Every structure is written in structure tokens, then in C-alpha cells.
Amino acid sequence: MLYTLSHSPTRCDLPALLRLTREGDALLLLQDGVLAGLAGSASLDLLLNAPISLYALQDDLDARGLPGHFSPKITLIGYTDFVVLTEKHRNQMAW
């Protein structure tokens, strides 16, 4: 399953989202969801403890001026890679 998070972690129930995930799932942070990957944040700790692959859209990080503040443990991707993720994970859920 591919989960996409487009809202700030302060505006969603990130722990609830992560309880739904299983090993082999992926989470893509996009739009304001990239805030969940800020280095040193509580939301990042939650993400890194989940058994999932973590991705973030580079364009959304750049648009918010966050590349220098983002965790290197999350894979940065472009829109082409986003398409590849959607092909790999036929089931998807947006948060």
C-alpha cells in the first residue's frame, strides 16, 4: 500500500496513519506533509520507527525552503519516481 501524507503532522493523526501500515508499505510526504520529515521532530521519530519505506517530493521541500532541515533518512524523489511508486503499489490511501 502507498500512503500519501499531504497535511502537516500537526493537522492530522499521524500515529493513526502509522498504525494502518504494514511492512512493505510506503509513505510519500508531499505538500505540507513534508513537515513530518524535519530533522529532530517528534513526527520524524514516529516515521523512522515504522516498518515502511519513506519518501518525500523534492519539489515540495524546495518550495518550502526545507532541504537543509530535512532528514537524510527519507528518500527524496521527483514526480517520475512518484509515478513509479504508484505503479508498484496498486492500493493507495491519501491522508
Q: pLDDT of 37-85, one tens digit each?
A: 999 999 999 999 999 999 999 999 999 999 899 999 999 999 999 999 9
Q: Is residue 2 within 8 Å of 29, Cβ to Cβ?
A: no
Angle (nearest 5°) at CA 42 between 20 and 19: 10
Q: Is residue 54 within 8 Å of 75, Cβ to Cβ?
A: yes
What is residue 77's predicted lDDT score, i.e. its pLDDT? 98
Concatenating the DSSP letter of every residue in 24-63 gives T-EEEE-GGGGGGGBTT-HHHHHHHTSSSEEEEEHHHHHH
What is residue 60's predicted lDDT score, i.e. its pLDDT? 98
For residue 7, the one-letter residue type is: H
What is residue 74's predicted lDDT score, i.e. its pLDDT? 98
Q: What is the band of 31 on the pLDDT scale with cuts at 50, 70, 90?
A: very high
